[in-house]
Amino acid sequence: MSCGVALAVSLLLSDPNVAMAAAQPPAIAEAPVSVAGEPLFADIVARSGALRGVVQGWIDAGAATRADFAADAGFTSFKTQAAELAAADMQGHLVLKERGTDGDLKCILRGISEDMPKKVAAVETAATPAERAVALSELAYLLNDNVEVVTAPPQPEV
């Protein structure tokens, strides 16, 4: 018998706590905590949901067919709100980065904050109603994604 095995056997026989610890199932890493209930992230979800509702209303009403769509005061207000949302997404990215947690959400929030102004600009600069309809659809998808990534149950790091 090797010395290591002999030592392990003697420890198991001499200390019941060692035997009990060895009989326990392996520890499972604590699941990551959702940030969806934190004020900043709850605000991101609320703003994204509200803006997605506005975009879906435009889509349902066929607003993309109007040549003056981007000049409308409602769209101008929307642009301001979308820029504020993009800034909140970047703030969420920075908070998670500082914590050193939730790599996927951190990266997704940064991507959304960078994509939001591009999607809004695509709606604004669309030359045809068909292009505007596609741009609105993509913007609605991005806003929906913003809600879903924050509210999705966090996954452990791989």
Is position 8 within any domain?
A: no
**43 within domain boundaries:** yes
Contacts of 61 (CB under 8 A, 6+ apart): none
pLDDT at 21 over 50: no
Supply the mean pLDDT for the chain: 85
Pairwise CA distance, residues 145 & 158, whole Å: 22
Asked if the model's pLDDT at residue 62 lies above 90, the reply is yes
The answer as to whether 56 is a domain residue is yes
Give a yes or no: residue 111 inside a domain.
yes
In a domain, 89, yes or no: yes
Domain total in the chain:
1
Q: Is residue 127 part of a domain?
A: yes
Nearest 5 degrees, angle CA 40-CA 34-CA 45? 40
pLDDT band at 151 (very low <50, low <70, confident <90, very high): very high
For the chain, the residue count is 158
Residue 12 CA to residue 34 CA, distance in Å, equals 40
Whether 156 maps to a domain, the answer reads no
Q: Which domain, by its residues, includes 64?
A: 39-151
120: its two tokens: 């809004």
Residue 80, domain member (yes or no): yes
